[in-house]
C-alpha cells in the first residue's frame, strides 16, 4: 500500500482518553526504547522525538491518519515493562491501555512493538497484553540488528505460541512496514480459541510468567541473542569507569561545545553581514521617515538580532541528538551519578539536565522518569539555571562586546557562563535538599541501552524541528516585542523645533563647528529616544538596576526579557540602533554595546542572565507538572534574588578592578 498518510498531531492531556467518533484506534505499546515512536513516526509521517535512551516519550501522543479512506487514530505511548506492578513512570501508559481496553466504544488494536534483540523481555508484556485484548499485532522491531548478528527469529512459531500476528519490521529502515500495515488493516483478530501460552499463564505470578517468556524465546530461536557483544562490554567497562569514564565525559562534553562554536561561526557571520547589508539597502530604498525607521530599526534590526543564533541552535540539537542515538548519554548519566548524589540530585536527572542546555521546557517534562517525587521536584526547581539556548544570544553579545579582539578570552568567558549556570544549579540543589526537600536521592538504576549507530536523518529532523520552533518564536513573539519596542521608542514624537534646551545647545555648538550632519542627527535621535515612552519607562526603572550597572536601555531590555530572555538581544539592537549615530551601515550588536556599556556592567549583565528566571513558558510547564503555582513562583523568587545579588557583586567588584 502506498497511500501517503495524512496526519494531524495533537497532544491530549494525560487523562484524556475519548475516542474519536467512528475511528479505529491503534495503540503503540511496548518496552521502553523498543522503537515505538520511530514506528509511529513512520506510519503517521510525523516527527515525534525518538532517542536511544529509556523514557524518551513521557506523554501520550495521538495522530489521525486516513487509511483506505477510513480514519485511523494512532496513539504513541511511553514505554512499560508490564501491566501489573508498574512504576510511576509507566503509569501513564498502563492507565491509557487499561482505559482503552475497558471502553467498548473503541475499535481497538494494540500494536505491541517488541525489540527483537531483547525478545525475552518483551514477551512478558506480550503475554499480558494477549490475555487482555482480542486484537493484538506484534511488530517485531529492530530485525535489521538481529539479522546483522546472523539470527533469524521464527515469527511463524511465535505467532502460533502467542495466538497473534507477528510481523518482522525495522522501523528505522522501513522494512516490513507494508506487511505491518496490511496486518493492521486486516483487523488482526487474535486466534479465537485463545492460545496455549496465555491459557497456561493466565493469572500467573510474575516468576512463572518470566519462565514462560524464557521458554517461548528459546523456542522462537532467540536464545542465541546475546544482548551485549564483547565490544559493548569493553566499551562499557571504560565509559562507566570512575576515572576513565569521567575523563571521557569531560572530553565528550568539551568537544560538543567546542564544535558548536566552531561550526556555527561561519554561518553566523553570513547572517550578520546579510542583515547588515539588508538594513543598509533598505535604508537606501526607503524614505527617511517613520516607515523607513519602522522597517530598518524595528523589523530588520529585531529579526537580525535574533536569527543570528539559528546556526548554534541547529548544531546544538543536531549533535545532542547524534550523541543520544549512540547510547552514550545513558553511560554518562551513570558516571556523573555519584557527583549528582552529593548535591542531592538523582542520576536520572542527568538527561533532563543535558536537555536543559537546549531548553528547560522539554527538560522539565522529561523529569517524569524520576520516580521519587522529592527528587523530581528538586530537579525541576534547578533545571532553569542551566544555560538554555535562549541565553546564548546574551552570552555572545556580551563576550563579543568585551573581548572582540581576544577570541580565546571570549571563549573562556562564554564557557564560564555555562559553568556558572551548572555550579549555581548544583549549589541551589544542595540548599534546597538541605532545607525544603530534605532527603537523599534514590540510587541510580537504569538500563543501559545497546550502542547504536546514530541515525543522521533522525538527528537532522530533530535539529530542523527545533530550529523551526525557534524561528517561529523569532517570527512571532520576538518580532512582536521588537516592533512594540520600536513604537515605544518612537512615540511620542519630539518636535525638532522644540528640542530640550541642552540638546538645542549641543546642536548649535555642533553646527558652529560645522560638524558632519550625521553627528547632529545622532544627538537629535538620542534626545528623541529619551523623550519617548521607552525612554521614560527606562528612566523610571533605571534606579532599580543602576546598582548592577545597567543604563536605562538595558533596564527596558531586562524588563522585556522576563517574557522571553532572548528578547534582550533584539531589544538592545532596536534601542541602541535607534539612538545610534545614524550611519548608513548598522554596526554589529557587539560594537553598539561597546560604545554604551562598561566592561563591569557587561559582566554584570551576563551574570544576571545566567541566573535569572526569565521564561514564562517554563513557569507554565512547572505549574503543570507540580500542579501548583507555588513552585514556579518559588523558582522566580529564588532565581531573581540570586541573579540580582550576584550581578550586584560582579558590578561593584568589577568597577573597582576594571575601572
Residues that bind Mg ion (CB under 5 A): 36-37, 56-57
> What angle, 0 to 180 degrees and rounded to 10, lies between the N-to-C axes of helices 517-531 and 533-545?
70
34 binds, among ligand GTP, Mg ion, none (CB under 5 to 8 A by kind): ligand GTP
Cβ of residue 355: shortest distance to Mg ion, in angstroms? 15
Q: Which residue has the cell 538581544?
A: 569
141 binds, among ligand GTP, Mg ion, none (CB under 5 to 8 A by kind): ligand GTP
Which CB, 141 or 165, lies closer to ligand GTP? 141
Which CB, 50 or 399, lies closer to ligand GTP? 50
Residues of this chain that interact with ligand GTP (CB under 6 A) are 30, 32-38, 50-52, 54-57, 78-79, 141-142, 144-145, 170-172, 325, 452, 455, 458
Which CB, 461 or 640, lies closer to ligand GTP? 461
| Rounded Cα gap, residues 278 and 484, in angstroms | 21
Cβ of residue 4: shortest distance to Mg ion, in angstroms? 23
Residue 133 φ/ψ, nearest 5 degrees: -120, 150
Question: Do residues 137 and 109 make contact, with C-beta atoms less than 8 angstroms apart?
Answer: yes
Which CB, 333 or 410, lies closer to Mg ion? 333
Cβ of residue 33: shortest distance to Mg ion, in angstroms? 8
Which CB, 141 or 614, lies closer to ligand GTP? 141
Cβ of residue 169: shortest distance to ligand GTP, in angstroms? 7
Element (H, E) at 244: helix 244-285
Cβ of residue 115: shortest distance to ligand GTP, in angstroms? 8
Which CB, 172 or 331, lies closer to ligand GTP? 172
Q: Residue ranges of the alpha helices (H) in 383-516?
A: 392-402, 407-434, 456-473, 479-490, 501-512
Cβ of residue 37: shortest distance to ligand GTP, in angstroms? 3
Cβ of residue 611: shortest distance to Mg ion, in angstroms? 34
Nearest to 73 by CA among 63, 83, 84: 63
| Rounded Cα gap, residues 100 and 121, in angstroms | 24
170 binds, among Mg ion, ligand GTP, none (CB under 5 to 8 A by kind): ligand GTP
CA distances from 656 to 376, 551, 604 (A): 42, 18, 13
Cβ of residue 167: shortest distance to Mg ion, in angstroms? 19
171 binds, among Mg ion, ligand GTP, none (CB under 5 to 8 A by kind): ligand GTP
| Rounded Cα gap, residues 44 and 32, in angstroms | 20
Which CB, 37 or 141, lies closer to Mg ion? 37
368 binds, among ligand GTP, Mg ion, none (CB under 5 to 8 A by kind): none
379 binds, among Mg ion, ligand GTP, none (CB under 5 to 8 A by kind): none
582 binds, among Mg ion, ligand GTP, none (CB under 5 to 8 A by kind): none
Cβ of residue 49: shortest distance to ligand GTP, in angstroms? 7
279 binds, among ligand GTP, Mg ion, none (CB under 5 to 8 A by kind): none
Question: Do residues 76 and 48 make contact, with C-beta atoms less than 8 angstroms apart?
Answer: yes
Sign of the four-CA dihedral 624, 626, 630, 636: negative
Cβ of residue 331: shortest distance to ligand GTP, in angstroms? 15
145 binds, among ligand GTP, Mg ion, none (CB under 5 to 8 A by kind): ligand GTP
35 binds, among Mg ion, ligand GTP, none (CB under 5 to 8 A by kind): ligand GTP
Helix (H, G, I), strand (E, B) or coil at 250: helix
Q: What is the b/e burial string over 378-405, where b = at least 16 CB atoms within 10 angstroms of the residue's CB?
A: bbbbbbbbbbbbbbbbbbbbbbbbbbee
Q: How buried is 562 (Cβ within 10 angstroms: 0-12 exposed, 13-18 middle, 19+ buried)?
A: middle
Cβ of residue 151: shortest distance to Mg ion, in angstroms? 25
Which CB, 57 or 128, lies closer to Mg ion? 57
Nearest to 564 by CA among 516, 617, 521, 497: 617
> Terminal CA-to-CA distance of the chain, rounded, Å?
73
CA distances from 307 to 303, 527, 564 (A): 6, 30, 15
Helix (H, G, I), strand (E, B) or coil at 295: helix
Cβ of residue 326: shortest distance to ligand GTP, in angstroms? 9
Which CB, 41 or 588, lies closer to ligand GTP? 41
| Rounded Cα gap, residues 353 and 171, in angstroms | 29
38 binds, among Mg ion, ligand GTP, none (CB under 5 to 8 A by kind): ligand GTP
61 binds, among Mg ion, ligand GTP, none (CB under 5 to 8 A by kind): none
Question: Do residues 98 and 127 make contact, with C-beta atoms less than 8 angstroms apart?
Answer: no
556 binds, among Mg ion, ligand GTP, none (CB under 5 to 8 A by kind): none
Question: Do residues 572 and 398 make contact, with C-beta atoms less than 8 angstroms apart?
Answer: no
Phi-psi region at 521: left, alpha or beta (left = phi > 0; alpha = psi -120 to 50): alpha
| Rounded Cα gap, residues 206 and 124, in angstroms | 9
Which CB, 139 or 488, lies closer to ligand GTP? 139
51 binds, among ligand GTP, Mg ion, none (CB under 5 to 8 A by kind): ligand GTP
Sign of the four-CA dihedral 290, 292, 295, 298: negative
| Rounded Cα gap, residues 388 and 376, in angstroms | 19
Cβ of residue 56: shortest distance to Mg ion, in angstroms? 5
Which CB, 37 or 570, lies closer to ligand GTP? 37
325 binds, among Mg ion, ligand GTP, none (CB under 5 to 8 A by kind): ligand GTP
Q: In what order do the strands lie in the sheet with 107-115?
A: 8-10, 61-67, 70-76, 24-30, 107-115, 136-141, 165-168
Cβ of residue 93: shortest distance to Mg ion, in angstroms? 10
Cβ of residue 312: shortest distance to ligand GTP, in angstroms? 24
* Measured CA angle at 15 (ends 9, 17), to 5 deg: 60
CB contact set of 4 (below 8 Å; sequence gap of 6+):
45
| Rounded Cα gap, residues 644 and 638, in angstroms | 10
Amino acid at each position: 500500500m502506498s497511500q501517503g498518510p495524512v496526519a494531524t498531531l495533537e497532544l491530549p492531556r494525560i487523562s484524556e482518553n475519548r475516542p474519536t467518533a467512528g475511528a479505529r484506534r491503534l495503540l503503540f505499546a511496548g518496552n521502553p526504547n523498543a522503537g515505538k515512536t520511530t514506528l509511529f513516526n513512520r506510519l503517521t509521517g510525523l516527527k515525534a522525538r525518538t532517542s536511544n535512551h529509556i523514557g524518551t516519550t513521557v506523554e501520550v501522543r495521538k495522530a489521525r491518519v486516513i487509511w483506505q479512506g477510513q480514519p485511523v487514530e494512532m496513539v504513541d505511548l511511553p514505554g512499560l515493562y508490564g501491566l501489573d506492578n508498574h512504576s510511576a513512570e509507566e503509569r501513564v501508559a498502563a492507565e491509557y491501555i487499561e482505559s482503552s481496553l475497558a471502553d467498548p466504544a473503541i475499535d481497538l488494536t494494540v500494536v505491541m512493538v517488541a525489540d527483537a534483540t531483547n525478545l525475552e523481555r518483551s514477551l512478558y508484556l506480550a503475554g499480558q497484553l494477549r490475555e487482555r485484548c482480542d486484537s493484538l499485532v506484534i511488530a517485531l522491531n529492530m530485525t535489521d540488528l538481529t539479522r546483522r548478528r546472523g539470527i533469524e527469529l521464527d515469527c511463524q512459531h511465535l505467532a502460533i505460541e502467542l495466538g497473534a500476528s507477528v510481523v518482522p519490521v525495522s522501523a528505522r529502515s522501513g522494512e516490513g512496514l507494508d506487511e505491518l500495515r496490511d496486518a493492521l488493516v486486516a483487523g488482526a483478530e487474535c486466534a479465537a480459541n485463545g492460545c496455549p501460552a496465555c491459557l497456561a499463564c493466565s493469572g500467573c505470578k510474575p516468576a512463572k510468567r518470566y519462565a514462560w517468556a524464557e521458554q517461548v524465546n528459546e523456542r522462537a530461536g532467540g536464545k542465541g541473542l546475546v544482548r551485549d557483544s564483547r565490544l559493548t562490554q569493553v566499551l562499557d567497562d571504560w565509559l562507566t569507569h570512575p576515572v576513565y569514564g569521567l575523563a571521557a565525559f569531560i572530553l565528550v562534553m568539551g568537544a560538543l561545545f567546542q564544535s558548536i562554536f566552531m561550526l556555527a561561526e561561519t554561518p553566523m557571520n553570513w547572517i550578520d553581514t546579510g542583515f547588515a547589508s539588508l538594513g543598509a539597502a533598505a535604508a537606501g530604498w526607503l524614505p527617511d521617515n517613520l516607515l523607513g525607521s519602522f522597517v530598518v530599526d524595528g523589523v530588520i534590526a529585531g529579526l537580525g538580532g535574533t536569527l543570528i543564533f539559528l546556526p548554534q541552535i541547529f548544531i546544538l540539537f543536531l549533535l545532542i541528538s547524534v550523541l543520544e542515538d549512540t547510547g552514550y548519554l545513558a553511560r554518562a548519566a551513570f558516571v556523573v551519578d555519584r557527583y549528582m548524589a552529593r548535591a542531592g540530585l538523582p542520576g536520572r536527572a542527568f538527561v533532563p539536565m543535558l536537555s536543559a542546555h537546549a531548553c528547560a521546557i522539554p527538560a522539565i517534562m522529561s523529569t517524569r522518569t524520576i520516580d521519587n517525587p522529592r527528587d523530581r521536584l528538586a530537579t525541576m526547581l534547578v533545571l532553569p539555571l542551566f544555560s538554555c539556548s535562549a541565553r546564548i544570544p546574551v552570552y555572545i553579545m556580551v563576550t563579543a562586546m568585551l573581548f572582540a579582539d581576544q577570541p580565546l578570552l571570549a571563549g573562556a568567558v562564554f564557557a564560564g557562563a555555562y559553568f556558572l549556570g551548572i555550579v549555581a544549579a548544583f549549589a541551589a540543589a544542595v540548599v534546597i535538599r538541605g532545607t525544603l526537600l530534605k532527603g537523599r536521592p534514590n540510587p541510580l538504576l537504569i538500563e543501559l541501552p545497546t550502542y547504536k549507530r546514530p541515525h543522521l536523518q533522525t538527528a537532522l529532523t530533530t535539529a530542523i524541528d527545533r530550529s523551526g520552533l525557534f524561528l517561529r518564536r523569532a517570527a512571532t513573539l520576538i518580532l512582536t516585542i521588537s516592533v512594540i519596542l520600536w513604537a515605544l521608542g518612537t512615540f511620542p514624537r519630539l518636535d525638532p523645533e522644540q528640542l530640550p534646551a541642552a540638546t538645542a545647545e549641543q546642536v548649535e555648538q555642533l553646527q558652529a563647528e560645522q560638524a558632519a550632519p550625521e553627528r547632529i542627527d545622532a544627538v537629535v535621535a538620542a534626545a528623541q529616544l529619551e523623550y519617548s515612552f521607552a525612554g521614560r519607562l527606562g528612566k523610571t526603572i533605571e534606579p532599580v538596576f543602576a546598582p548592577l550597572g545597567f543604563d536605562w536601555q538595558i533596564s527596558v531590555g531586562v524588563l522585556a526579557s522576563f517574557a522571553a530572555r532572548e528578547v534582550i538581544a533584539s531589544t538592545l539592537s532596536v534601542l541602541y540602533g535607534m539612538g545610534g549615530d545614524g550611519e548608513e551601515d548598522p554596526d554589529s550588536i557587539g560594537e553598539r554595546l561597546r560604545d554604551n556599556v562598561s566592561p563591569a556592567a557587561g559582566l554584570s549583565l551576563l551574570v544576571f542572565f545566567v541566573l535569572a528566571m526569565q521564561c514564562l513558558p517554563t513557569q507554565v510547564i512547572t505549574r503543570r507538572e507540580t500542579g501548583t503555582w507555588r513552585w514556579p513562583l518559588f523558582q522566580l523568587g529564588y532565581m531573581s534574588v540570586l541573579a540580582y545579588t550576584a550581578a550586584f557583586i560582579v558590578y561593584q567588584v568589577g568597577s573597582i578592578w576594571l575601572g
